[in-house]
Amino acid sequence: MPVTKPTEIMLHEANVEVPKETIAELVRKMIVLLGEDPNREGLRKTPERFEKALRFLTSGYNQNLESVLNGATFSVHYDEMVVVKDIEFFSLCEHHLLPFFGKAHVAYLPSKKVLGLSKIARLVNMFARRLQIQERMTSQIADAISEKISPEGVGVIIEARHLCMQMRGVEKQHGQAVTSAMLGSFRHNKQTRDEFLSLVRAQKS
């Protein structure tokens, strides 16, 4: 019996018709529309290379919270803040399909369970490897941790540079976007929030 992938479920629920052409075939047509010759030596294999790269960069659609965490939640009596910072990521802006990239800083205050530390980085990658906007990605990471281990609070800060802003449009190469999501005690307790912010800033001192 064939296994239905998460992406296929999403497309079915959204009532989206999947094109019969491959991504590579569509890219070959795009190259022609741009005024180039797809049979030129340097471009001959570009459509297939592009499809392979794009499928990797959007591989987060084929993952879900359960598969990424893979049972790595542990019942531990620990009530101090857990912080994983400087998690590097690359994503694709859904408005222009251009990259944005930077670092994510993730913290939570445990209640009864903790996450395997590497799983936090994998969680960031899962949401980054989709067509994204930074604001939504920030909230998704925080919501996922909150849903899975019900901590006292979660804080997520993302700092990123967007090539859609650096290469086109306003063309400002040094602009950086910073977004945050604060849940539970990180939103309601200034001391908790300040502790998280000071730990993030400590990397730059």
Catalytic residue among 8, 48, 152, 164: 164
Is 164 one of the annotated active-site residues of the chain?
yes
Catalytic residue among 21, 94, 135, 147: 94
Helix, strand, or coil here: 109? strand
Pick the catalytic residue: 51, 96, 159, 166? 96
What is the full DSSP assignment across the chain?
A: -PPPPHHHHHHHHTTPPPPSS-HHHHHHHHHHHTT--TTSGGGTTHHHHHHHHHHHHTGGGG--HHHHHTT-EEE----S-EEEEEEEEEEEETTT--EEEEEEEEEEE-SSEEE-HHHHHHHHHHHHSSEE-HHHHHHHHHHHHHHHH--SEEEEEEEEEEHHHHTSTT--TT--EEEEEEEEHHHH-HHHHHHHHHHHHGGG-
Whether 105 sits among the annotated catalytic residues: the reply is: no
Catalytic annotation on 51?
A: no
Q: One of 63, 93, 140, 195 is an active-site residue; which one? A: 93
Catalytic residue among 63, 105, 162, 195: 162
Indicate which residue of 12, 36, 88, 95 is catalytic: 95
d(CA 125, CA 30): 29
Find the catalytic residue in 132, 134, 140, 195: 134
188 counts as catalytic: no
Whether 41 is catalytic = no
Catalytic residue numbers read 93-96, 134, 162, 164
